[in-house]
Structure 1
Amino acid sequence: MRKLLILDWSSEWRGYVLEAAARMGVNVLLVMDRDRPTPEVVLDKLILPDLYQNPVQWAETIATYGRRWGVDGVFTHEDELVELSAIVAQYLRLPGPSPKGVRRALDKWETRECLREIGLPNPNYRRANSFDELKSAVNQIGLPVVIKPIASSSAEGASKVERLEDIEIAWRAAFEASLSSPVSPGQVIVEEYLRDEGRVLSLEGMIIEGQLFPITITEAHQYHSSRGGRALRIHYKDYFLPAPVTEKTYREIVLMSSKLAEALPIHLGAVHVEYKLTPEGPRLLEFNPRLGGGLVPLMVRQAFGVDLAEASLKLALGEKPDLRFTKSSAVCLDWYVPPYEGIVRSVHGFEEMLTAPNVVHGELRVKIGERVAPGWLGLAFVMTEHSDPLGALKSARNALKHLSIEIEPVS
């Protein structure tokens, strides 16, 4: 039986990965930073408590573990571990993306430089290693700007800044978030704020032997919460697919993603490439050499019958995945986002939400007494399916109206 080495996993956010492995009849060797209950598909576990502290230092240890078990492939879904996964696959002479390409993709400065080198449109950007360098960069670019770690995802540590007096708050958030990154810790990038309508588009695709196979474009809506003053923390909600974009926009996104993948280079694996839709056309936010985060793979499977998790595992094993659509619908996944920081005191209407029209799935992810705060992931989510993307979005928003979560504010 084939054996697959997977670098970290959680039942809450990555449950579908081990479910795919079980359907494929694959035994899993799991590397984790702490021991947690796992399904029967897991044959053995290697626990490395400091796995996320400079992950690449564990490459030889993990490769030795993989050799001992005779693994046939290496996979991860985690941003912090994708470079490590690529290095381990290279050590074991197994299929995987180029470690150099992965590192360039994770480093937003390197990605921007790569875009510039191949002549693709870029916002104005600067790198900063200190607060003084940051102030100089902001003065050169001009407000408003986005300040974020050079390597992060899910808008972690990212702020929109509209006033000079809010730069320090944004600097602290980005700098602190950067310290846990395996790529360019302590470094921050400042970018011209791309004016748009709050729409973020993400290409979900697979790269096989250097060729990009686009699956769909996901849309999410960007919103902000205050970090203090008017330094605005960036979040996302209202995920739905396929995004209602013009054929021209779709072609531009696919072409830019394909050219960037070739230049980085990324020749194998899942990709999740984020863009902002500006009046001048799509502009790259980041290139992620991994599956889409959150529950995007579940949305794709619900809408099109394409299992991106299974496809990724097959690529890791050197097999060709089946990317053919078996259905075609629109799916939305919307979150109940806490409006302010506080303690959850009660939850009402969850069952009513689940029985609302077009709802196919939903989960409550908070407990009474838990402290919560605004963030890109919410306290509960609902997934809806419809013939039209905006119909799926409307259904999700209507379903969430049934849910009421009482939060006691805290200072």
Structure 2
Amino acid sequence: MSNPMLLVIGSGPELMRRYMLEAAATDTPLLLIDDKEPTWQAPYIVDYEVTDLGDLSSVALAADSLARHWTIAGVLTFDEYHLMAAARLAELLGVPGNAPAAVGATRDKATSRQRFFSSDVPSAAFTWVHSLDAAASAAERLGGFPVVLKPTAHAGSIGVVRVDSIADLSAGWSIASAGAAHQGPEGQGVLLEEFLDGPEISVETVTEYGVTTAIAVTRKSVGFAPYFMETSHVVSADDPLLGEVAPIAAAALRAVGITHGVSHVEMKLTSDGPRLIEVNARLGGDRIGELVRYATGVDLARAAAALACGRSPNLEATRARSAAIGMIYPPADGIVTHRMLRPGDDKHLEQLHWLCNIGDRVTLAPSPHTPNNIRAGFAITTGDDAEAARRHLDEILARAVVEVRTPLTQAA
């Protein structure tokens, strides 16, 4: 028999996922099922199959083909939209993982909300709506505006919009329903929710045999109101909030049935205390895993791989610093004509990556035609504390230049 392998479902974009795949390959050889032939993934994998990741039967056949040649010790995905496929394959192969019903509960935000309420986990009042008229009636029943509209099974804040008045409802419905048209199959339609006012955070957790350890708090900044597009994240090893929100994150994971793996639990810090937004049964996006590693030394991607293979991860903190990531956005919708980082002090700059090339189209804010915006790049900085990491990040972002040619400019 071959050495035990970890089967990864989907790889995603290189600049956001390479560090995850590299970390996962540290202790266990990798197999990959993806929808394209591997390129940048090749150094980290032993074998692969190409198939339609949206078709569970095709993914199962690809896994069966790999299992004929290799011993599969675990199944893992870092992608929100492939969580159900990974859970079902793990169950089929008899390897560690969450029950598909639990993963389905995290994917369907309506089910999550119901389970939060049933378990007395503080969350937001909500209702499922299927039309603009239904949304108007639901807003009245929930106590009026502002409210939030969101697709039930999307990710990355796609289609999520705050609606401040009945006059804004039609435009908000267009954004949310456009996002819902392209969401995962685990949920249908749009949720209308009570607007939770306050700073947004996430708790990065590791759960093994139902016991959850909170590793770090990520403090988020969002912009582009009435949307909730994330503009920056900061992680500090000594964040005093961790002790307060860790039990709530653990309760939320129990409520939806997550017993295994790395999770990203989102909350709002309201005047009534922390309240749940959602549970994501995978490592957080926007390179949050990198921030946790820079700040604490704990490698969440490596931990996720260990758990998937039935091993206890190393969660010992070896650093006590802070790290921040900031998104570089274009000044307007258009075609990129120039991008650069002006000269300056890069001492605290850990990473800067452009997500666009000259000639690429970028968008500043969502619309019914492009329900998610297209960032130009991102930068990661570190510091001795959160204030220092933020200050260094602001200095870098002030030097990042993106110029675009807008349709109006082009016509002129």
State whether TM-score is above 0.5: yes
Shift of 1:344: 1.3
In 2, Cα distance between the equivalents of 1:208 and 1:189?
A: 31
Partner of 1:228: none
Partner of 1:242: 236
In 1, Cα distance between the equivalents of 2:288 and 2:310?
A: 24
Shift of 1:139: 2.3
Partner of 1:91: 92
- Taking structure 2 as the reference length, the TM-score comes to 0.90
Q: Please say if residues 268 and 315 of structure 1, whose CA atoms lie closer than 8 Å, have aligned partners that are also in contact.
A: yes
In 2, Cα distance between the equivalents of 1:346 and 1:182?
A: 35
Q: Mapping of 1:2-401 within 5 angstroms?
A: 2-10=4-12, 11-24=14-27, 26-37=28-39, 38-48=41-51, 50-52=52-54, 55-58=55-58, 60-68=60-68, 69-141=70-142, 142-196=144-198, 199-225=199-225, 232-242=226-236, 247=240, 249-350=241-342, 352=343, 355-374=345-364, 378-401=375-398
Letter in 2 for 1:160: R
Letter in 1 for 2:403: E
In 1, Cα distance between the equivalents of 2:384 and 2:186?
A: 44
SS of 1:189's equivalent in the other structure is strand
Letter in 2 for 1:136: S
SS of 1:339's equivalent in the other structure is coil
Shift of 1:4: 1.2
Q: Please say if residues 176 and 186 of structure 1, whose CA atoms lie closer than 8 Å, have aligned partners that are also in contact.
A: no
In 2, Cα distance between the equivalents of 1:147 and 1:339?
A: 26
In 2, Cα distance between the equivalents of 1:175 and 1:184?
A: 16
Letter in 2 for 1:64: D
Letter in 2 for 1:268: H
Shift of 1:183: 3.8
Give the root-mean-square deviation of aligned CA atoms. 2.0
Q: Please say if residues 136 and 169 of structure 2, whose CA atoms lie closer than 8 Å, have aligned partners that are also in contact.
A: yes
In 1, Cα distance between the equivalents of 2:280 and 2:237?
A: 19
Shift of 1:244: 8.1
In 1, Cα distance between the equivalents of 2:267 and 2:374?
A: 20
1:304-347 Cα offsets, whole Å, 9 max, x none, are 11111111001111111100011110001112112321111112
Letter in 1 for 2:155: S
In 1, Cα distance between the equivalents of 2:59 and 2:257?
A: 21
Q: Please say if residues 86 and 98 of structure 1, whose CA atoms lie closer than 8 Å, have aligned partners that are also in contact.
A: yes
SS of 1:263's equivalent in the other structure is helix
Letter in 1 for 2:49: L
Shift of 1:57: 4.1
What percent of counterpart residues are identical?
Answer: 27
Q: Please say if residues 97 and 268 of structure 1, whose CA atoms lie closer than 8 Å, have aligned partners that are also in contact.
A: yes
SS of 1:23's equivalent in the other structure is coil
Shift of 1:22: 3.4
1:343-397 Cα offsets, whole Å, 9 max, x none, are 11112335x26x4342122112221121111256631222111111121011101
In 2, Cα distance between the equivalents of 1:169 and 1:66?
A: 47
Q: Please say if residues 238 and 393 of structure 1, whose CA atoms lie closer than 8 Å, have aligned partners that are also in contact.
A: no
Letter in 1 for 2:84: E
Letter in 2 for 1:167: L
SS of 2:213's equivalent in the other structure is strand
In 2, Cα distance between the equivalents of 1:403 and 1:260?
A: 39
Letter in 2 for 1:43: V
- The verdict on how the C-alpha distance between 1:348 and 1:43 changes in structure 2, with shifts beyond 3 A counting, is closer
In 2, Cα distance between the equivalents of 1:185 and 1:284?
A: 19
In 2, Cα distance between the equivalents of 1:194 and 1:339?
A: 29
In 2, Cα distance between the equivalents of 1:149 and 1:102?
A: 17
Q: Please say if residues 33 and 59 of structure 2, whose CA atoms lie closer than 8 Å, have aligned partners that are also in contact.
A: no
Q: Please say if residues 15 and 353 of structure 2, whose CA atoms lie closer than 8 Å, have aligned partners that are also in contact.
A: no
In 2, Cα distance between the equivalents of 1:367 and 1:377?
A: 12
Task: Give ranges in structure 1 of 5+ residues lacking alignment.
Answer: 226-231
Shift of 1:128: 1.0
In the comparison of the two structures, how many residue pairs are matched? 395
Shift of 1:66: 4.4
Deviates more, 1:264-273 or 1:171-180: 171-180
Letter in 1 for 2:231: K
1:156-200 Cα offsets, whole Å, 9 max, x none, are 11111112132222223222322333344541101111122xx21
In 1, Cα distance between the equivalents of 2:62 and 2:285?
A: 24
Letter in 1 for 2:260: L
SS of 1:110's equivalent in the other structure is helix
Q: Please say if residues 62 and 88 of structure 1, whose CA atoms lie closer than 8 Å, have aligned partners that are also in contact.
A: no
